[in-house]
């Protein structure tokens, strides 16, 4: 299929690369043109000078940009250039509100907008093993699934427009609490003077097991945070979660507390550290 991809950051570039490898005709755009040119040099495809140029004639256009305002700007520019009946697949983590707004706008022109946030981090994007949570029309979701399976191992439609973003919020709530618990566990183990690696070996296959434990305990214990999902991004996501919670009346005491703990990490200079750096604030 003729597929466009907007946003070639640490997630977007490998995702777009998988589309090329799957045999699709891929056009790309990035606000920094050098990244788009570097992508084409490495993978093939073509780079558009503008969003509209990259989107021209595309049957599917994937977005992986920054925030609600970016999605609105990109989608508004791209929609008129897309093929009739085309779908925008938005992998950005945004509010559910903007997803519904863009779905309505796309529908006015006979096109589709599917909110499709992902989980799995940079490693998942590189390996093509992301989890993708879809919100949107069922027919549109069925149409895009064979294409995004190039980088999505688990693809699940949650419901109508905005449902994918709400599912991602649930994901971030779970991660925030898990990482805080893990940070305290690592801190406690080190203060107790026991062998942190031996503790991990003992508990990682039992009831305490989690992806965060398996993948982040060793590096947390070593104080290594130069990889993965950045604290700044997590605070953006938790801000969306807390805004939605205020709107729907949810009580998220732990999530709000962990958000403030991440603010402490930012003050320590950890804006770009991995989210596992929560342990750093416990150690000073």
Residues designated as active site: 168
Q: Can you tell me the distance from the alpha carbon of 229 to that of 248, in angstroms, rounded to the nearest whole number?
A: 27
Parallel, antiparallel or unpaired: strands 130-135 and 118-119: antiparallel
CA distance 97 to 102: 9
Residue 112 is classified by DSSP as E
Q: Residue 226 burial by CB count (10 A; 0-12/13-18/19+): exposed, middle or buried?
A: exposed
Rounded to whole angstroms, the Cα distance separating 259 from 278 reads 10
Distances (CA, A) of 58 to 6, 7, 117, 168: 12, 16, 20, 27
User: Cβ distance 148 to 1 under 8 Å?
Assistant: no
| 8-state DSSP, 83 | P
- If DSSP codes are grouped into helix, strand and coil, which group holds residue 246? helix
Question: Are 171 and 116 in contact, with CB atoms under 8 Å apart?
Answer: no
Angstrom distance (rounded) from CA 190 to CA 69:
43
Tokens 């992998």 belong to which residue? 91
**Interatomic CA distance for residues 125 and 17, integer angstroms:** 10
């Amino acid at each position: 299929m003729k597929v466009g991809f907007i946003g070639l950051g640490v997630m977007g570039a490998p995702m777009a690369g998988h589309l090329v490898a799957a045999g699709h005709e891929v056009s790309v755009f990035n606000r920094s043109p050098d990244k788009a040119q570097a992508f084409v040099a490495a993978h093939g495809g073509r780079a558009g000078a503008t969003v509209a140029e990259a989107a021209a004639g595309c049957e599917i256009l994937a977005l992986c940009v920054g925030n609600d305002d970016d999605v609105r700007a990109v989608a508004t520019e791209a929609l008129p250039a897309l093929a009739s009946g085309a779908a925008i697949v938005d992998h950005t983590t945004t509010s559910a509100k903007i997803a519904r707004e863009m779905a309505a706008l796309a529908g006015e022109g006979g096109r589709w907008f599917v909110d499709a946030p992902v989980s799995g981090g940079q490693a998942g994007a590189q390996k093509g093993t992301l989890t993708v949570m879809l919100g949107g029309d069922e027919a549109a979701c069925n149409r895009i699934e064979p294409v995004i399976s190039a980088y999505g191992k688990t693809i699940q439609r949650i419901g109508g427009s905005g449902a994918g973003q709400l599912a991602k919020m649930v994901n971030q709530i779970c991660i925030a609490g898990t990482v805080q618990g893990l940070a305290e566990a690592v801190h406690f183990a080190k203060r107790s003077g026991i062998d942190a690696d031996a503790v991990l070996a003992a508990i990682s296959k039992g009831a305490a097991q989690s992806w965060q434990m398996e993948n982040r305990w060793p590096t947390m214990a070593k104080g290594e945070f130069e990889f993965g999902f950045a604290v700044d991004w997590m605070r953006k996501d938790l801000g969306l979660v807390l805004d939605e919670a205020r709107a729907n009346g949810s009580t998220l005491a732990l999530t709000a507390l962990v958000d403030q703990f991440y603010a402490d990490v930012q003050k320590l200079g950890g804006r770009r550290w991995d989210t596992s750096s929560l342990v750093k604030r416990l150690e000073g």
